[in-house]
Amino acid sequence: MIQVTLPDGSSRSYESPQTVAQIAHSIAPSLAKAAIAATVRSNEGIESTVDTSYLIDRDVSLSIITPKDDIGLDIIRHSTAHLLAHAVKELFPDAQVTIGPVINNGFYYDFSYKRPFTPDDLEKIEKRMNELAKQDIAVVREEWDRDDAVEFFKKEGELYKAEIISSIPQGETISLYKQGSFIDLCRGPHVPSTGKLKVFKLMKVAGAYWRGDSNNEMLQRIYGTAWSSKEDQAHYLNMLEEADKRDHRKLGKELDLFHFQDEAPGLIFWHPKGWTIWQQVEQFMRKVYIENGYQEIKAPQILDLSLWKKTGHWDNYKENMFTTQSENREYGLKPMNCPGHVQIFNSTLHSYRELPIRYGEFGQCHRNEPSGSLHGMMRVRGFTQDDGHIFCTEDQLLEECSAFTALLQKVYKQFGFDKVLYKIATRPEKRIGADEIWDKAEEALMESLRSSGCEFEISPGEGAFYGPKIEYTLKDAIGRHWQCGTIQVDFSMPARLGAEYVDADDTRKTPVMLHRAILGSLERFIGMLIENHAGAMPPWLSPEQVVVCPISEAFNDYALDVQSKLNEKFRVKVDLRNEKITKKIRENSMQKIPYILVVGEKERSTSSVAVRARGNVDLGVLTVDEFIARLQNEIDNKLDVVVPSV
Domain residues of the chain, as ranges? 2-66, 71-236, 258-301+334-533, 539-637
Beta strands in 94-168 (DSSP E): 96-97, 102-103, 106-112, 140-144
The CATH number of domain 71-236, selected from 3.30.470.30, 3.90.78.10, 3.40.1160.10, 3.30.980.10: 3.30.980.10
* Contacts within 8 Å (CB) and 24+ apart, 354-358: 354/501, 355/391, 355/392, 355/393, 355/396, 355/501, 355/511, 356/390, 356/391, 356/392, 356/393, 356/396, 356/400, 357/295, 357/390, 357/391, 357/392, 358/292, 358/293, 358/294, 358/295, 358/388, 358/389, 358/390
**Active-site residue numbers?**
338, 367, 385, 387, 389, 469, 515
What's the CATH number for 258-301+334-533?
A: 3.30.930.10
Name residue 196's amino acid: K
Known binding-site residue numbers: 338, 389, 515
**What values do phi and psi take at 129, rounded to 5?**
-60, -45
Q: Cα(381)–Cα(377) distance, rounded to whole angstroms?
A: 10
**Residue-wise DSSP of 53-121:** T-EE-S-EEEEEE-TTSHHHHHHHHHHHHHHHHHHHHHH-TTPEE----EETTEEEEEEE-SS---HHH
Q: Cα(387)–Cα(361) distance, rounded to whole angstroms?
A: 5
Please state, as a whole number, how many other Cβ atoms lie within 10 Å of the Cβ of residue 216: 11
- End-to-end CA, the chain: 68
Contact 382, 364 (CB under 8 A): yes
Name residue 308's amino acid: W
CA neighbours within 13 Å on the CB side: how many for 433? Answer: 26
**What values do phi and psi take at 352, rounded to 5?**
-60, -25
- Do β-strands 501-502 and 481-490 pair in parallel, antiparallel, or remain unpaired? unpaired
Q: Cα(410)–Cα(511) distance, rounded to whole angstroms?
A: 27
In a 3-state reduction of DSSP, which class is residue 243?
helix
**What values do phi and psi take at 148, rounded to 5?**
-65, -40
| Same CATH fold assignment for domains 71-236 and 258-301+334-533 | no
Helical spans, DSSP H, in 454-521: 493-496
CATH 3.10.20.30 applies to domain 2-66: yes
Q: Cα(287)–Cα(291) distance, rounded to whole angstroms?
A: 6
Return the pLDDT at 171. 81
What's the CATH number for 539-637?
A: 3.40.50.800
Known binding-site residue numbers for Zn(2+): 338, 389, 515
Name residue 172's amino acid: E
- Do β-strands 199-209 and 617-623 pair in parallel, antiparallel, or remain unpaired? unpaired
Return the pLDDT at 441. 87
Return the pLDDT at 645. 57
- Do β-strands 96-97 and 106-112 pair in parallel, antiparallel, or remain unpaired? antiparallel
CA neighbours within 13 Å on the CB side: how many for 414? Answer: 19
Return the pLDDT at 646. 47
In a 3-state reduction of DSSP, which class is residue 232?
helix
Dihedral angle sign, alpha carbons of residues 526, 529, 531, 534: negative
| Phi-psi label, residue 549: left if phi above 0, alpha if psi -120 to 50, beta otherwise | beta
Return the pLDDT at 644. 67
* Model pTM score: 0.83
pLDDT under 50 in the chain at which residues?
646
Q: What is the mean pLDDT of the chain?
A: 93
Contact 449, 422 (CB under 8 A): yes
Query: Which run of H or of E encompasses 509?
Result: strand 508-509
Return the pLDDT at 537. 96
User: Residues, the chain, total?
Assistant: 646
Contact 101, 81 (CB under 8 A): yes
